[in-house]
Chain A
Amino acid sequence: MNKARAFRSRKEEGSISMDASHSYAVLLAAFFAIAAGLVGSVALMKRMVLASDVISHLALPGLGIAYLLKTNPLVGGGATLFLGTLLVWQLQKKTGLATDAAIGVVFAASLGIGALITPGEDLLEALFGNFQKLSLVGFLLGAAAVVLVVLFVVQMKDRLILDLFSPELAAATGVKVARLDLGFLLVFSLTVLVGLRFMGALLSSALIIIPAATARQLTSRMAQFVVVACAASLVSVAAGFVISTLILKTTTVGPTIVIVSALLFVLSLLKRK
């Protein structure tokens, strides 16, 4: 099956009838949107958009291996995401141009390897995701991951603020900065993993970054910034789902969600704080 046929078949599946397992998937997507808004706000303030992109793309080789082994794609994606997180953390501890270059190489290499080993018919789904049924267990695991993400950000709020202002002053105050960075990168990866099924490796980080960028244009207070980022993310997911499934009749919802999200960003440019 070539890519065009794969996409057409998803368009035909698009006229899906909603049942409980689809409801779980929609509900988890909404939870993901909130986690993405929260994590994206911090990532944007930490100026780690490039590193974030690399992390999400590192899921692709894992997805490819999982498809080849005919096992759960999230297990493969999760494994390489975790390894990628540790790699980016190590790179982040060093500074300078070499780090940027290394991150760029890792980013390109992971896409190349992923594209090469992922079977052709699954590549589109690995890259752009697919809206599909979700078991109760899958939903509960995803929801637990989102709760973990929210708890981390809430619990670490003060440490994160100190680190955002100045990692050096944070360290002088007693914050374990390297440990905090690792914790945040792991939470970021967990968020990507939750969104991997329906957003794909290429687009899940986009929903983490774009709503935060939108919120940054509209707000000047931190609390408002985080709330607006979550709201923009939620609106993008909801509108993307409705447009994809009801109008475009496709289960590949990721691109539509990202387009809605980007449109919101463009609209935000019209009103600068």
Chain B
Amino acid sequence: MTDRLLSVRDLRVAFGNRVVLRDLSFEVYSGDCLAIIGPNGSGKTVLLKALQHLIPYGGEIHWSPAARVGYVPQSVAADRQLPLRVSELLTAKAQFLHLADQEMEQDSSELSLSPEFLNAGIGTLSGGQFQKVLIAFALLGRPNLLLFDEPTASLDELSEERIYELVHELQCQKGITVILVSHDLSVVYRYANRVLCLSKGKPCMGPPKEILTPQMLEEVYGAPSRFYGHIQEH
């Protein structure tokens, strides 16, 4: 029997008079790869933030005590001038969480972070390298559920492919549960076993084959054939 890691009931998030999420209920089970899709402004990032209690919300968000969450944000508005090395950032998290030294070493070796990379200042990293740091940061502390918010939004295609391969490896080898926000429907189709679609209408959820239909995509994005054709190629 698979364990339920997350249960969301009647979630509602509003900023002033603008309601971003309403009446949203879903569950996430161990081993799931849940993709969250929807047009810009549909509340995908807001949902991930609410799940981590980073913003005020109404309704219920219940995490299982067994859930250890890692978070890879879409972007980090970090000051690139900060005199901070990659290793100092990871050490700060490891020490804050009282992790054993081996955990950081293991984290670095799993992601093939070289000593030179760890010694680099965060301001000197490329977009792909920076994303790798965010993933290494999220994986520190042995999470069993990862929240990915458009992990490849600022990357070229090659780096994008590597990041998704890494996500897939984490799923297969470690059984990590993944909640993934993505605009790339081919990625959703390839990696997700369930899709949560946020749109102005009622949110819907199900397996990719049921959700990513031309009718549904037209309703959500207003341009079904282009996306669907792309998906069918995989």
Contacts and interface: CB of A to CB of B under 8 A. Distances in A.
Contact of B96 (A166, A175, A225): A175
Contacts of B96: 158-159, 162, 173-175
B92 A169 contact: no
Interface stretch (B3-11, B73-81, B182-190, B192-200): B73-81
Interface in B83-124: 83-85, 88-89, 91-93, 95-97, 121-122
Interface string B59-85: 000000000010101001111001111
Nearest to B76: A166
Contacts of B40: none
A222 B84 contact: yes
Contacts of B78: 165-166
Interface of A is mostly: helix
Interface residues of B, number: 25
A224 B88 CA distance: 13
B71 A161 contact: no
B1 interface: no
A158 B89 CA distance: 8
A165 B69 CA distance: 19
Contacts of B83: 45, 216, 219-222, 224-225
B89 A161 contact: yes
B63 to A, nearest CB: 13
A95 B91 CA distance: 30
Given A216-B83, A220-B83, A168 B93 contact: no
B52 interface: yes
A182 to B, nearest CB: 18
Interface string A74-95: 0000000000000000000000
A171 interface: yes
Closest 9 CB pairs of A and B: A161-B92, A158-B92, A158-B96, A166-B76, A172-B71, A158-B95, A222-B83, A225-B83, A172-B52
Interface of B: 49, 52, 54, 69, 71, 73, 76-79, 82-85, 88-89, 91-93, 95-97, 121-122, 137
